[in-house]
Amino acid sequence: MNLNETGIIIFCENYDVALKFYSEKVGLHVRKKGEHLSVLDFGGSYLMLEDNGVASVKEKTRAENPTVIRFNVNNFEEAVSELIQRGVSVDVKKHSWGTIGVIIDPEGNRIELKD
C-alpha cells in the first residue's frame, strides 16, 4: 500500500462548536470548510470534523471513545501557555515516562500534548 496521506475523523454532535475549538482554540489551520464536514491540518496529516456524532458534557470513557488525539510538540511549556492564553484548560500530568497536558474538547474527546 502506497499511502498518500493519513487522517483521523471525529464525528461531532455540535459540529460548529467543535470546528471553532479546533481552529481557534487549538490553532489548527482549516484546509476546507463545509456545512457538515471540515478538514484541518494535523501535523503532516489531517483531522476531519464531521457532524452526526454524539457529544458528552464530560470526558468520554474509553468505551465511548477508545482513541486519544496526541500532539507531540517541540516546546511543551510554550504550547501549554499558548493554549491557556486562548482559554483552553490544560491539566498537566507528570508520569515516570514523561509529562503530558490533557485537554478535553467540547465533544468530550481527550487530547494530549507531549514533548
Q: Is 86 left (phi over 0), alpha (psi -120 to 50) or beta?
A: alpha
* Per-residue pLDDT tens over the stretch 56-84: 999 999 999 999 999 999 999 999 999 99
- Quote the mean pLDDT of the chain: 96
Phi, psi of 111 (to 5 degrees): -125, 140
pLDDT, residue 15, reads: 98
pLDDT band, very low/low/confident/very high, at 115 (cuts 50, 70, 90): confident
pLDDT, residue 69, reads: 96
Q: Are 114 and 70 in contact (CB under 8 A)?
A: yes
Q: Are 115 and 99 in contact (CB under 8 A)?
A: yes
- List the end-to-end C-alpha distance of the chain, in Å, as a whole number: 31
* 34-54 mean pLDDT: 97
